[in-house]
Chains A and B, each alone.
Chain A
Amino acid sequence: MKNLRRKNKRRPKPLLESDKKDAGVTKLTSRDDNELDWLRRRAMYASVVLIFFFAVIVSRLWYLQVQQGDKYRDLADSNRVRYLEVAAPRGNILDRFGREIVTNRPSFNVVWIREDNKINDEWLKKITNALDVEPGEILEKIRKMAHEPGHLPVRLAEDINWETVAHIENNRMNLPGIKIEVVPLRVYHYGNLASHLIGYLGEINKKELESAEPSLYRGGDLVGKMGLERLREKDLRGEKGRNYMEVNALGFEQRNLKGLEPLPGNDLRLTLDMELQKTAEDLMAVEDYAGAVVALEANSGRMLVLASAPALHLDEFVGGISHKAWKGMLENPHHPLVNKLVQGQYPPGSTFKAITAVAGLAEGVITPESVIYCPGHYRFGNRTYRCWKRGGHGAVNLKRALSESCDVYFYQVGQRLGVDRIAKYAKLFGLGKKTGIEMEHEKAGIVPTIAWKKKRYGKSWQEGETLSVAIGQGFDLVTPVQLALMTAALANGGTLYKPAIVEEVKDPDGHVIESFRPQILERLAGQGRTLKLVRDGLVEAVNGKRGTGKKASLKDMGIMVGGKTGTAQVVRLKQYMHLREEDIPYKYRDHALFISFAPAENPEIVVAVVVEHGLHGGSAAAPIAGAVLRKYFEIHPRETEVSAVVLFDELLVDASNSKADTNGNLKHEQTVMEN
Chain B
Amino acid sequence: MLRFDRRLIHHFDWVMLLMLILISGMAMANLYSSTFNGESGVSPIFYKQLYLLVAGMIIVLLCISIDYQEFSTFGFILYVGVVLLLIYTNLFVSTVAGTQRWINLGFFRLQPSEPAKLILVLVLASCYSKTEVKGGYRLRDLIKPVGLTAVPFVLILIQPDLGTALMLGILFVSMTLFVKLRWTTIGILVGAGLTCVGIGWKFLLKDYQRRRIETFINPEGDPMNHGYQVMQSKIAVGSGQTFGKGFMEGTQGHLHFLPERHTDFAFSVWAEEWGFSGCLFFLGCYFFLMLWGIHISMTARDKFGVLLAYGLVMMIFWQAVINLFMIMGFLPVVGIPLPLFSYGGSSLMTTMVAIGIMMNIYMRRYQTS
Residues of A within 8 A of B (CB): 1, 3-5, 7-8, 11-12, 14-15, 17-19, 23, 26, 31-32, 35-36, 38-40, 42-44, 46-47, 50-51, 53-54, 57-58, 60-62, 64-66, 68-73, 75-77, 79-80, 246-250, 254
Contact = CB atoms under 8 A, between A and B. Distances in A.
Contacts of B256: 248-250
Contacts of B252: 76, 79-80
Contact of A4 (B67, B234, B291, B294): B67
A249 B255 contact: yes
Contacts of A71: 238
Interface in B273-295: 275-276, 279-280, 283, 287, 290-291, 294-295
B298 A43 contact: yes
B306 interface: yes
Contact of A35 (B5, B132, B272, B291): B132
B235 interface: yes
Given A4-B70, A23-B301, A76-B239, A39 B307 contact: yes
Given A4-B2, A19-B366, A69-B242, A39 B279 contact: no
B297 A40 contact: yes
A46 B313 contact: yes
A53 B321 contact: yes
A521 B90 CA distance: 99
Nearest to B297: A43
Contacts of B36: none
Interface string B166-195: 000000000000111000000000000000
A57 B324 CA distance: 7
Contacts of B67: 4, 7
Interface in B338-369: 365-368
B328 A69 contact: no
B202 interface: no
Contacts of B51: none
A433 B2 CA distance: 118
B178 A42 contact: yes
B3 interface: yes
A41 to B, nearest CB: 8
Given A39-B178, A47-B291, A76-B235, A18 B368 contact: yes
B330 interface: yes
Contacts of A14: 367-368
Contacts of B71: none
B332 to A, nearest CB: 16
23 contacts: A19-B366, A39-B178, A40-B299, A40-B300, A44-B298, A46-B297, A47-B295, A58-B279, A61-B283, A64-B329, A66-B241, A69-B240, A71-B238, A72-B238, A72-B241, A76-B252, A76-B257, A77-B239, A77-B251, A246-B251, A248-B257, A249-B256, A254-B255
Given A15-B366, A23-B365, A70-B241, A36 B303 contact: yes
B238 A46 contact: no
A249 B228 CA distance: 12
A11 B5 CA distance: 10
Nearest to A78: B235
B235 A75 contact: yes
Nearest to B65: A4
B3 A69 contact: no
